[in-house]
C-alpha cells in the first residue's frame, strides 16, 4: 500500500461509470484528523463532462469503496484535476490511515 496511486480507476460521472487512468496522491492531515488527496486524469470523457458543467464524481479503484471527489480546472495539457477528502480510494500505507 502506498500514499500514491497511478493506474486504472472507475469514475462515476453523470450517473455512468467510466474507466480512466488516474494519477493520485494523498496525505493525512493530523490537525484535521482526515486525509486529503488529489491528482489528475487526462481522459477525454471526463474533460468533456467538466466542460458541460460536471463537478462531482466518485472514484473507485479495484474492489475498494467509491470515494467522492470534485473536478477542478484543466491543466495546460488538457488533464482535469481531481480532489477528495477522507479516506483515499486506494490502499494507503500510513499508520494514520483511518480506514485500514
Query: Per-residue pLDDT tens for 32-66?
Result: 899 999 999 999 999 999 999 999 999 999 999 99
Question: pTM for this structure?
Answer: 0.86
Q: Domain holding 14: CATH number?
A: 2.40.10
Query: Per-residue pLDDT tens for 2-22?
Result: 699 999 999 999 899 999 999
Please report the pLDDT score of residue 81 as a whole number.
96
Please report the pLDDT score of residue 100 as a whole number.
42
In a domain, residue 42? The reply is yes
In a domain, residue 56? The reply is yes
In a domain, residue 55? The reply is yes
Task: Return the C-alpha cell found at 97.
Answer: 490511515
Please report the pLDDT score of residue 54 as a whole number.
94
- Residue 19 has a CB neighbour count (10 Å cut-off) of 10
Whole-number Å distance between alpha carbons of 29 and 96: 9
Rounded to a whole number of angstroms, the CA Rg of the chain reads 13
Count of the separate structural domains present in the chain: 1
In a domain, residue 99? The reply is no
The answer to whether residue 85 scores a pLDDT higher than 80 is yes
Please report the pLDDT score of residue 92 as a whole number.
78
In a domain, residue 13? The reply is yes
When the pLDDT of each residue in the chain is averaged and rounded to a whole number, the result is: 89
Please report the pLDDT score of residue 78 as a whole number.
84
Domain span at residue 69 reads: 4-85
In a domain, residue 39? The reply is yes
In a domain, residue 94? The reply is no
Amino acid at each position: 500500500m502506498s500514499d500514491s496511486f497511478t493506474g486504472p480507476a472507475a469514475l462515476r460521472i453523470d450517473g455512468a461509470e467510466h474507466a480512466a487512468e488516474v494519477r493520485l496522491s494523498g496525505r493525512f492531515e493530523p490537525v484535521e484528523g482526515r486525509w486529503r488527496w488529489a491528482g489528475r486524469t487526462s481522459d477525454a470523457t471526463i474533460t468533456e463532462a467538466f466542460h458541460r458543467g460536471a463537478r462531482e464524481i466518485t472514484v473507485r479503484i479495484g474492489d475498494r469503496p467509491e470515494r467522492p471527489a470534485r473536478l477542478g480546472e484543466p491543466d495546460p495539457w488538457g488533464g482535469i484535476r481531481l480532489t477528495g477528502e477522507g479516506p483515499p480510494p486506494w490502499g494507503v500505507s500510513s499508520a494514520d490511515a483511518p480506514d485500514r
